[in-house]
Amino acid sequence: MMIRALLFATGLALLLAGCRASPGTLTIAMKDMHFRQGEVHVRAGQPVTLRVVNEDGYAHAFDIDAFAIHRPLAAHETAEITFTPEPAGQYTFYCGSPGHMAAGMTGVLIVEE
C-alpha cells in the first residue's frame, strides 16, 4: 500500500514537472459568454503562447489592445497567439464581438516582473 502511494506521488511529481517544463503555453477557453480563465499570469519579457479555445457554437474574438492583439475566432475554433508581454502590469483582455465584453467577456492578463 505504501509503495503504491509512493509511486502515485512520484508519478504526480513527474506530471507536474512536465507541465512546468513548458511554461510558454497557456490556455484561455471561451464558453457561454465568458472566459474560463478570468485571470492569467505571465512573465514580462518572456515569449508566451496563448492557446485561445472557442468552445461556443458561435463566433468570438480575443483582444488585448495594449499588445495589438485582435483575433477573431469562428465557432469551435482554436487559435495560438504568441507575443512577448512587457512591461509588467495589468492588461485587460476581452472579446471584441459586439456586445460580448459588456456581457462579461473580459479578463485580466497580469504581467509579472
Q: Which is nearer to Cu ion, 32 or 113 (CB)?
A: 32
Q: Which is nearer to Cu ion, 43 or 108 (CB)?
A: 108
Question: Strand (E) positions, 44-99?
Answer: 48-54, 60-64, 69-73, 78-83, 89-94
List 63's β-bridge partners, or say none.
Answer: 70, 94
Min dist CB 95 to Cu ion, Å, is: 3
**Contacts to Cu ion by CB under 5 A:** 60, 95, 97, 100, 105
Min dist CB 85 to Cu ion, Å, is: 22
User: What is the rounded CA–CA span in Å between residue 62 and residue 15?
Assistant: 30
Min dist CB 56 to Cu ion, Å, is: 8
User: What is the rounded CA–CA span in Å between residue 9 and residue 6?
Assistant: 5
Q: Which is nearer to Cu ion, 55 or 112 (CB)?
A: 55
